[in-house]
Structure 1
């Protein structure tokens, strides 16, 4: 619903901030990693994730898109809710989490409050390879802009296609470097 918020910080603490966006105050839950990046700023942009629950709408904010994407990946894991995902990303940077997952270092995850051996193994199993792809993509492209392939993937997922199916359909296309986002989407839809 909200891709990002940009405004002045009315109040900030290591876990929560109030952001004034054109006279509207948003209460945003943040990680320690995000707090470290924005604590000395008066104005900033936070990439957001809105969680709608039966009893509340909770807004989470992240200093960069990579952290938000990792948060969303964690939410897809059984037994990992928003509070646990936020604790993980407060305890480990996205790079440290990627190294723990790729190195199958369950002990690093178990050191995070609330993460037991089974949950650590489940996180490693579910995220293996997923974080590496994003880290590799961000190393070759600017952090601010998605690649054409990433834009197409996001569009397909927003159309209601499962991420794994969308990724497989894009892979079937072969060399897509000369295609526009629209062409990739059209061809991927045909390949499904």
Structure 2
């Protein structure tokens, strides 16, 4: 089991990053919160969860232990896999997700793509005693800049398709969001699109 990787950020997009350590580039699936934490940084430490399947070995990366703990709790819920857990963590900062679960907010959870009412209820029932509002260590998801490799719209659409959305609806949502608020950062556009799609 890999606990964490410390290295140089070789590539960073809102859905994945490549962290180079000892001459090896590790591809990590990340949430928008982790993207925000690493945006603009040249190196850093990322906490890791490894998923080993018959057809793939996947690494999921988290900027803080709280986010990884929430991810691990979410994937214990029936019907919530690693990609769905990442989608939930992209929709809410860890502190906000803890509040959503503590307050039994079904509406907030069902606003996430792929989360129906039954899954939301299962998450709330299974995790209500596992998360404690006292464990909130502050919201470390400050927004800092946009991805330098492309326009906000292009990067948002690419991230949404990597998260499993169809390209056409993603483009439509991103264009609509940027038409109303052209100054948004890429992570803000993606979060808004996640609520629309």
Q: Normalising to structure 1: TM-score of the pair?
A: 0.69
Q: Which residue of 2 aligns with 1:10?
A: 10
- Deviations 1:84-103, CA, capped at 9 Å, x for gaps: 00000000111111111111
- Deviations 1:18-65, CA, capped at 9 Å, x for gaps: 110010110111000000011110001000000000100000000000
Q: Which residue of 1 aligns with 2:111?
A: 111
Question: Aligned runs of 1:22-41 on 2, under 5 Å?
Answer: 22-41=22-41
- Deviations 1:64-107, CA, capped at 9 Å, x for gaps: 00000100000100000001000000001111111111111100
Question: Aligned runs of 1:41-190 on 2, under 5 Å?
Answer: 41-132=41-132, 135-137=133-135
Q: What is the count of residue pairs matched by the alignment?
A: 137
User: How far is 1:136 from its partner?
Assistant: 2.3
Contact 2:9-2:18 within 8 A present in 1 as well? yes
What CA distance in whole angstroms lies between the structure 2 residues aligned with 1:107 and 1:46? Answer: 31
What CA distance in whole angstroms lies between the structure 2 residues aligned with 1:137 and 1:89? Answer: 16
Contact 2:98-2:136 within 8 A present in 1 as well? no
Structure 1 runs (4+) greater than 4 angstroms displaced: none
Q: Normalising to structure 2: TM-score of the pair?
A: 0.68
CA RMSD of aligned residues (A): 1.1
User: How far is 1:137 from its partner?
Assistant: 4.6
- What secondary structure is seen at the aligned counterpart in 2 of 1:79? coil
Change (3 A) 1:138 1:104: closer
Q: Which runs of 5+ in 1 are unaligned?
A: 140-192
What CA distance in whole angstroms lies between the structure 1 residues aligned with 2:125 and 2:86? Answer: 19
Q: Which has the larger radius of gyration?
A: 1
- What secondary structure is seen at the aligned counterpart in 2 of 1:51? strand
What CA distance in whole angstroms lies between the structure 1 residues aligned with 2:124 and 2:111? Answer: 14
Q: Which runs of 5+ in 2 are unaligned?
A: 138-197
Q: Which residue of 1 aligns with 2:140?
A: none
- What secondary structure is seen at the aligned counterpart in 2 of 1:101? helix
User: How far is 1:138 from its partner?
Assistant: 6.0
